[in-house]
Amino acid sequence: MSARLKALRLVGSTLAASRIEFVSIGSEVVLLHSGIDYKPTAMDVDLFVLNVSPFLEEDLFKEIAEKHGWRVTQTWIGSPSIVIAVDETDINVDLYENILDFYVPREIVDDAARINLKGFRVKVIPLEGYIVLKAKAGRDIDERDLKAIRILEAKGKIRLDLNRVKKYIKTFPEEDRKYIEHRLSKQGFLV
């Protein structure tokens, strides 16, 4: 099991024990759905918290981290990021919610699957939701990840449902849809 998945299992099970609900939304989604050894540009774990605000309840997350000997830093939007050492590597487990420019549509969250991770069942958004979120973010790092995922799809290592991709695009505000469609078309997902 990769260091990222170990971090997801450790932090995820700890959060779940504290009754904090979340869904996995980062690059670990590709690995969890496909089982292939996908190496993304960023080596972190991204969790979308459902029932507690990481911003408003930051002290709760700090308490949990300190209790387990983990550190807390901040994500690019200022939400908590738990840093955990796994296999001599620091892994950031970034905690997000819908705030500022960060938005995960309810439809993507609702379609999350539960995947068994060595005895811990983690909710994971669909691959199609992941690529739409990557296209929405639109950073250089996201472009590189989309290109790598498109190569995996072209090689038949993963399968994407384009109708589901289109469904998720429609969940964004109109001004974002064209941008998302353009980015996905540019990478060869919508042709």
Sign of CA dihedral 117, 123, 127, 133: negative
Domains along the chain?
Answer: 3-186 (3.30.460.40)
Query: How many separate helices (H) and strands (E) can be counted in the chain?
Result: 8, 7
Residue 79 has φ and ψ, to the nearest 5°, of -85, 165
Residue whose C-alpha is closest to residue 183's, from 169, 173, 170? 169
Q: Structure tokens of 15?
A: 């959060």
Per-residue pLDDT of the chain (191 residues; tens, 9 = 90+): 788 889 999 999 999 999 999 999 998 999 888 888 777 667 789 999 999 999 999 999 999 999 999 999 999 889 999 999 998 889 999 999 998 778 999 999 999 999 998 889 999 999 999 999 999 998 888 899 999 999 999 999 999 999 999 999 999 999 899 999 999 999 898 76
pLDDT confidence of residue 101: 76
Token pair belonging to 109: 């969250």
Tell me what pLDDT residue 133 has: 96
Cα separation, 63 vs 56, whole angstroms: 14
Nearest to 121 by CA among 12, 31, 36: 12
Name the CA radius of gyration of the chain, rounded.
16
Residues contacting 180, CB < 8 A, separation 6+: 132, 135, 136, 169, 172
